[in-house]
Structure 1
Amino acid sequence: MNVLIGCEESGTVRDAFAELGHKVLSCDLLPTRSDGAHYQGDVFDVIDYPWDIAIFHPPCTHTSVSGARHFAEKWMDGRGAAGVSFFMQLVRRSAHIPRTRFEQPVSIMSSLYRKPDQVIQPWQFGHGETKATCLWLKGLPLLTPTQIVDGRSDRIHKMAPGPERARERSKTYDGIAQAMAAQWGADPFIRAAIAAMTDTTIRG
């Protein structure tokens, strides 16, 4: 399948799909951190290609509720409106893609766009950390947890300020990326089998 990973420079999700044999392109204003097909530039330059799946990570700096105390300031200088507009433009411009997923932490998009279809946590996919992540889905099933683990560390939220903080906070967890590739990159029969096996493992 032709898969677009929009607004990703880490290559984590791109590489997970590529390992399963898909034709994948990541896109971001920054260069990619790992080898792989990557367009460094505006996501709207490549969005009109006939993609089968598109997974978008629109920036949440000005929409996340973790920065709610700054909403008034961001409204005055337009940053909040710009963040919301970019998200909504992605939704409109990706209408031709049959399967899409948009991701952000808990944000104002839940009220300005629509409620998310699913909220996932890293500890559902093999990582003992907390980071509530909202998923807006079209043409894709809910993501099935693959490995429930103990541990509820808030590492991401408590990261010390630094030049790499924003990049590390936005990076998708490996377990989540692998689950998306396995469950959304397979045909419906394989996805159903994976979901059944996962459910048995979690319950058993």
Structure 2
Amino acid sequence: MKPLRILIGCETSGIARRAFADRGHDVWSCDIEAAEDGSNRHIRCDIRNGILQEGWDLLAVMHPPCTRLCRSGRRWMSGPGKWTEPKQLPKGRSLDDMRAEFEEGVSIFTACWSAPIQRVAIENPEMNDLARDRMPADLPKPQMVQPFWFGERAYKATGWYLRGLPPLFATDLLQEPERGTAEWKVWNRVHRMPPSEERARLRSRSFPGMMNAAADQWGGWAEKKEAAA
């Protein structure tokens, strides 16, 4: 069976790239930053600058800028209603900064969703109303999954916006720990990370179990569709 040409966008960790590559696919990752693993199958570029038009069979976008698009980030963008003065701003930041980051997030997300690629999966939290107003009309609600569906001892609600791909199904569902226990605190380590320069990068890292499931399920689905075409 002919390998799929797969682009993993907005990823530096290589976790998703390696998962799909292990299944025999022709996989490349791209980001404006270098790959952590030094792979020669990583392209440093802005994903909006042409790479989306290079004939991919599947696009998985891992961590596009979402800080201003997600529900938790709305309070920095607007007060009551829409686009009113927010009650406060992050320390050292201006409203112009917030708006610029919002526009950047909208631009990257819509470019990826509108790419001429048949099968697309974009990871992003559930969006706030300001972001939804700017999204393409055909954007569906995200499928929300958790790492513990895939054998990872962790909580981190992960949204997948899908086109031409089926929802992920659990492959190794773990029993959740009792709330407040030491194990429950371990599962919440992503949310409990202390402030640091590396916090955003570490919080956005993919979980290998979830990426292995995606490579099996989405890669397998796409292979069958390509074979039947």
* TM-score for both structures, normalised by structure 2: 0.75
Find the partner of 2:42 among 38, 44, 49: 38
Residue 52 (structure 1) aligns with = 57
1:103 alignment partner, one of 100, 103, 123: 123
The number of residues matched between the two structures is 189
C-alpha contact (below 8 Å) 1:5/1:13 kept by paired residues: yes
Does 2:30 correspond to 1:27?
yes
- 3-state DSSP class of the match of 1:4? strand
In 2: Cα distance, 1:189 partner to 1:166 partner: 34
> What is the match of residue 95 of structure 2?
76
**Are 1:131 and 2:153 an aligned pair?**
no
Name structure 1 gaps, 5 residues minimum.
192-204
Contact 2:59 2:120 in 1 (8 A): yes
Identity among equivalent positions (%) equals 35
Cα distance per residue 1:58-112 (max 9 Å; x no partner):
11122122223212359931222332232112222x1x21100011123227733
* RMSD of aligned Cα (Å): 2.3
Q: Is the 2:48–2:111 contact (alpha carbons within 8 Å) kept by the matching residues of 1? A: no
Q: Equivalent residue of 1:137, what SS?
A: strand
* Structure that is richer in helix per residue: 1
Deviation at 1:185, TM superposition (A): 1.1
Deviation at 1:188, TM superposition (A): 6.5
Larger Rg: 2
Q: Are 1:17 and 2:42 an aligned pair?
A: no
State the shift of 1:35 in Å: 4.1
In structure 1, the residue corresponding to 2:69 is in which secondary structure?
coil
Q: In structure 1, how many angstroms separate the alpha carbons of the residues matched to 2:142 and 2:222?
A: 19
Pick from 163, 168, 182 the counterpart of residue 216 of structure 2.
Answer: 182
